[in-house]
Amino acid sequence: MAHDPDSARAEAEEAQRERARAERARHGQGFGARLGSAVKEVVVVLAMALVLSFIVKTFLIQAFFIPSESMEDTLLVGDRVVVSKLSPTLVDIDRGDIVVFDDPGSWLDPVPEVNRGAALNGVRDALMFVGLLPDTSEGHLIKRVIGLPGDHVQCCDAEGHLLVNGTAIDEQVYLRPSADENHQEFNITVPEGRLWVMGDNRGDSSDSRYHDPGGTGAEGSVAIDLVVGKAVVTVWPLNRIGRLSDHDDVFDDVPDPGDRAVGMAAREVPSTR
């Protein structure tokens, strides 16, 4: 039977076109598969990052924004600080530590929430929830621990120094220079499970002194259970990055509550020099 060259050439061209179509289909499927795989990988990595950030924020560290002047000049308005949540659960709180705690009740005035729109508000709240944005500190306060459970704290001696368990402490290393002009008198014993806290800017700090109408320390002190953690470092702005010292040396000579009499005796003995 005779072979038609034109027919054979047409068949060959059609076969070639079919192979090209198949190759393009395979290439398209391969690209789609690779793109789908890449998207899945990105989603998994982001999900893991969010979960890790949430775990870190919940159990280890959390960033907070400083909204007020009560801790000046140690902390300024707008500073961002990192708080270790190992305290007080795993690491004890000491005198001199700077702690963030939940509002014990009516310490803070209501702050109107800035409305950036439902979408932006939702994104901001979600990022704060997982720890990718610093907490705006709404509902939280930051102060320095002056008295531990059982401590007797009093203001002030003739030189304007606080007395802790009968021992005068010199706070000039962290107090705002003009703060020593404000000497609101008090004489309290810190109840068990609570802390007596004060701001470094004593002239502009609504702290334990102003929330203790009974003058016993029972209301002005803060329950340790309300402590979120201990502020350990300033991370923003860049020119203020640095570790936050707890200044425990200020309290080195303070005796334990049970040794208060010894502390008082030591303070009352005249110097022989």
| Separation of alpha carbons 273 and 271, rounded Å | 6
Taken in order of first residue, the domains within the chain and their CATH numbers are 63-259 (2.10.109.10)
Which of the 8 DSSP states describes residue 79? Answer: -
Residue 262: CB partners within 8 Å, gap ≥ 6?
A: 255
Q: How many CB atoms lie within 10 A of CB 51?
A: 11
| Separation of alpha carbons 233 and 245, rounded Å | 8
Instruction: State the pTM of this model.
Output: 0.72
Active-site residue identified among 57, 70, 87, 230: 70
Q: Confirm whether 221 is a catalytic residue.
A: no
| Separation of alpha carbons 210 and 245, rounded Å | 26
Residue 262 has pLDDT above 50, yes or no: no
Q: How many residues does the chain have?
A: 273
Q: Confirm whether 70 is a catalytic residue.
A: yes
For the chain, give the secondary structure using H, E and C: CCCCHHHHHHHHHHHHHHHHHHHHHHHHHHHHHHHHHHHHHHHHHHHHHHHHHHHHHHHCEEEEECCCCCCCCCCCCCCEEEEECCCCCCCCCCCCCEEEEECCCCCCCCCCCCCCCHHHHHHHHHHHHHCCCCECCCCEEEEEEEECCCCEEEECCCCCCEEECCEEECCCCCCCHHHHHCCCCEEEECCCCEEEEECCCHHHCCCHHHHCCCCCCCCCCEEHHHEEEEEEEEEECHHHCEECCCCHHHHCCCCCHHHHHHHHHHHHCCCCC
Share of the chain above pLDDT 70, in %: 67
End-to-end, the C-alpha distance of the chain in Å comes to: 133
Residue 171: CB partners within 8 Å, gap ≥ 6?
A: 161, 162, 250
Q: What value does the mean pLDDT take over residues 187-216?
A: 94
Residue 95 has pLDDT above 70, yes or no: yes
Which of the 8 DSSP states describes residue 175? Answer: S
Residue 190 has pLDDT above 70, yes or no: yes
pLDDT score recorded for residue 90: 84
pLDDT score recorded for residue 37: 74
Active-site residue identified among 57, 85, 143, 230: 143
Query: Per residue in 150-186, pLDDT tens?
Result: 999 999 999 989 999 999 999 999 999 875 456 789 9
Residue 15 has pLDDT above 90, yes or no: no
Query: Alpha-carbon dihedral of residues 165, 144, 92, 101, nearest 10 degrees?
Result: 130
pLDDT: which is higher, 148 or 17: 148
